[in-house]
A and B are shown apart, each in its own frame.
Chain A
Amino acid sequence: MMSKDVADIKSEASPIDTDKMWVIMGPQHPFSHGLWTLKAQLDGEIVTDAEPIIGYLHRGWEKECENRTYPKIIPMADRLCYAASMTYTHLYCMTVEKALGIDVPDKAKYMRIMADEVCRIQSHLMWLAAVGTDLGNLTVFLWAMREREFFMDINVRLCGARMTTNFPRIGGVRNDVDEEFMMYAARCVDRFEKAVWDIISLIDDSSTFVSRMRGTGYLTREACANLGITGPAMRGTGVDFDIRRDDPYDNYDKVDFDVPVLKDGDSYARYMVRIEELFQSCKIIKQTLQKIKAIGKNAPYRFKVPSKVPAGRAFTRLEDPRGESAMYLVSDGTDKPYRLKVRSPIFVNVSASKPLVQGSRIADVPVIMAMIDMCLGETDR
């Protein structure tokens, strides 16, 4: 099913029959950003077989939600992924709103979009930091973390918390933003668009970085779609799909942005897609700030909602920094969900790690898996 391009790795078939060795990478291993294991079968340095093992962080999140009232799940949704907490809370609130059949105020929609994009930038910077360490360079790690701090500060000014933001609410958002915040956010984004070039030029102008990424982890478009890989990893493989554009939620159809798609299908293409997404997110943030300003100060940002959700089903999905997240809510008319299913992008992406790493060298495994951007909180749930 999977046709691997082995042009980069020549003459690997050796006439000598050599022993193969299983190396268990993880759960405590510098390359696994979080608790998961990759069992890799090595023939010399070539990975011939691989099996991902997850479940070290399984908390029964979905089951636990069945025991809580709807508003109490919002802070839990934050804890699904530490780097993309805003999008999960947003997704949960959207799902419940759909089950309730209500529409949120326009201002809240723009604020959610803005918060989502801030979250996307900070998550992508976290990923960039991880790429740095996986390639053996700590400078990229620290520079990316430095830039990330500014977006953490935006989060603090927005809702008072750095990572687990707890900002969207069922029916709107928690609080309004003030003039000072808008000024700060606009300045921060302007600054970031220049400052990120430091990191990009450090990586892209250096052949050591580029040659490590180019040609590794190759997948074809069909294989990628079939394996269910989503997000920037998918768009680097040539699938032209972004939920923000093709299945818009909230007010994404009213802002202007491009979806970067590259057809190369290797780690470098995935890297380039993520970098371009940083700039697109900046563009969206700037537009939303203007729209929020245009809507005016005293516009409503939150509607009151009933505590009981009518019996029914609701499915929503959104574009997480890492891919396609979806929630499916089955409600039975009480104030607690009957069943709440979370579709996590990394859960599926990591299941594709065998075709991704097969045939590459063990030194490339961290790089290939870094392009997936692991986050175990949402994977194991």
Chain B
Amino acid sequence: MTEETYQKPSVREIQELLEKKFSGKVRVTGTEERRVCANVDRDCIHDVCAYIHGSLTFEHATSVMGNDMIDHMEVIYHLSNYFNGVIVELTAELPADDLRIWSVADIWAGANWHERETYELFGIIFDGHPKLKRLLTPDTYEFYPFRKSYKLRGKE
């Protein structure tokens, strides 16, 4: 499968290509100068990321982060292009009772530790991650400290 590669895709191109290739699964929610925001179904996150990395030449994963919205969780990816400075922001929503998503650590080795961190702080499990263990907090922790259910002791 040889696809056309775009080294310097513009914001408009990215929007059109993503919506064309993954119609229904990727919804572009907003664009700004050098920024594209999109919602992605969690089942196809690995395909979308592989497409963005391979065909759109986004060589760098700036960050992978979790966000606890109480009724559901989000995994937010920021992917960066080294040729024109565009950032694609992908948001995948996870239902609170099934916190699993495919890992992208095989696409970007730099996402490895971001996913480990998200796992240990939010309890989101990344399937296919090479080493999903606690990184910052001790191995003995049995809770996920960045969830909203974990209350801080001091209140202002």
Residues of chain B whose beta carbon lies under 8 Å from any beta carbon of chain A: 34-35, 59-63, 65, 67-68, 76, 78, 80, 82-85, 87, 89, 108-114, 117, 135-138, 145-146, 150, 152, 154-156
Contact = CB atoms under 8 A, between A and B. Distances in A.
A201 to B, nearest CB: 34
A297 to B, nearest CB: 33
Interface string A60-102: 1011101111000000000000000000000000000000000
Instruction: Report whether over half of chain A's contact residues are helix, strand or loop; otherwise say mixed.
Output: mixed
7 contacts: A226-B59, A228-B61, A228-B110, A243-B85, A246-B84, A246-B85, A330-B67
B78 A348 contact: no
Interface in A197-227: 222, 225-227
Given A240-B82, A328-B78, A348 B113 contact: yes
A352 B111 CA distance: 11
B146 A225 contact: no
Contact of B63 (A68, A240, A328, A352): A328
Contacts of B137: 55, 58
Contacts of A230: 60
Contacts of B63: 326, 328, 341, 343
Nearest to B110: A228
A326 B67 CA distance: 16
Nearest to B107: A226
A116 interface: no
Contact of B76 (A63, A69, A240, A328): A328
A339 B65 CA distance: 10
Question: Which of A55, A62, A222, A228 has the most C-beta atoms of chain B within 10 angstroms of its own C-beta?
Answer: A228
Given A63-B150, A228-B62, A315-B35, 18 more contacts: A62-B146, A63-B146, A63-B152, A67-B155, A68-B156, A222-B59, A225-B59, A226-B59, A228-B108, A228-B109, A228-B110, A247-B34, A315-B78, A315-B87, A324-B80, A343-B78, A348-B110, A348-B113
A227 B110 contact: yes
A365 B63 CA distance: 27
B147 to A, nearest CB: 10
Contacts of B87: 247, 315, 317
Interface residues of A, number: 40
A339 B67 contact: yes
B120 to A, nearest CB: 9
Given A328-B76, A343-B63, A351-B112, A225 B35 contact: no
Contacts of A54: 135-136
Contacts of A229: 110
Interface of A: 1, 54-55, 58, 60, 62-64, 66-69, 222, 225-230, 239-241, 243, 246-247, 315, 317, 324, 326, 328, 330, 339, 341, 343, 347-348, 351-352, 380-381
A66 B63 CA distance: 20
Contacts of B85: 241, 243, 246-247
A60 B145 contact: yes
B10 to A, nearest CB: 14
A328 B90 CA distance: 13
A343 B109 contact: no
B131 to A, nearest CB: 9
Nearest to A64: B152
Contact of B62 (A1, A324, A351, A380): A324
Nearest to A98: B32
B152 A328 contact: no
Contact of B152 (A67, A317, A326, A351): A67
Given A246-B84, A326-B62, A228 B67 contact: no
A259 to B, nearest CB: 12
A352 B61 CA distance: 13
A165 B152 CA distance: 28
A58 B59 CA distance: 29
